[in-house]
Amino acid sequence: MNEAVLVLNANFEPINVCTTRRAIGLILSGKADMVLNGRGHIRTVARLLPRPSVIRLEVQVHRPRPRVKLTRREVFRRDNYTCQYCGRRDGGLTVDHVMPRHLGGEHIWTNVVAACPACNHHKGARKLEESRMALAHLPKEPPANAAYLYGQHLSKNGEWEPFITGW
């Protein structure tokens, strides 16, 4: 009952991921329709319920343009789990502030990168130019489009792809 279900707005824009339990609740209360099943059924005492993979809300939900929350996990994901100084992918990663915080560097998308512990230590509390290190990519805020927000679910839920593409 805890599998991921893709929730589409009334205009078919993907807006959320919920659990099977929540999705069935939304369908039974008339707030959503099943768009895609593909997972068989759940037998209860009273009836056979579908196990939705994609549902669509009956009424369009208005909400602000989504943004990707700045967290360690999202920084690593944006940077493809790669140290932005040396390109290493193995070993643990840390979040490095390109302009060190004690020099006024902010905790914002354009000032944080994934760095391996060795590079983070080597750079230390110096500015980038003082460290003579170089970044693989200039850090940017990742796009909050559906491909970025929900693409991570595609390995388990390949059937979502047509619903995510283009949003």
Residues that bind Zn ion (CB under 5 A): 83, 85-86, 88, 116, 119
Closest approach of Zn ion to the CB of residue 112, in Å: 15
Task: Please list, in sequence order, all residues whose beta carbon lies within 8 angstroms of the beta carbon of residue 78, skipping any fewer than 6 positions away.
Answer: 68, 109, 114, 139, 142
Beta bridge partners of 33: 56
Whole-number Å distance between alpha carbons of 5 and 57: 12
Closest approach of Zn ion to the CB of residue 115, in Å: 6
Beta bridge partners of 57: 32
Closest approach of Zn ion to the CB of residue 39, in Å: 42
The Cβ-side half-sphere exposure at 81, using a 13 Å CA radius, reads 4
Both structure tokens of 162: 């047509």
Both structure tokens of 122: 């080597």
| Nearer of residues 86 and 99 to Zn ion, judged by Cβ | 86
| Nearer of residues 117 and 151 to Zn ion, judged by Cβ | 117
| Nearer of residues 116 and 146 to Zn ion, judged by Cβ | 116
| Residue 79: closest CA among 63, 95, 62, 57 | 95
Closest approach of Zn ion to the CB of residue 126, in Å: 15
Closest approach of Zn ion to the CB of residue 117, in Å: 8
| Nearer of residues 7 and 119 to Zn ion, judged by Cβ | 119
Element (H, E) at 162: helix 161-164
| Nearer of residues 39 and 88 to Zn ion, judged by Cβ | 88
Cβ atoms 6, 15 nearer than 8 A = no
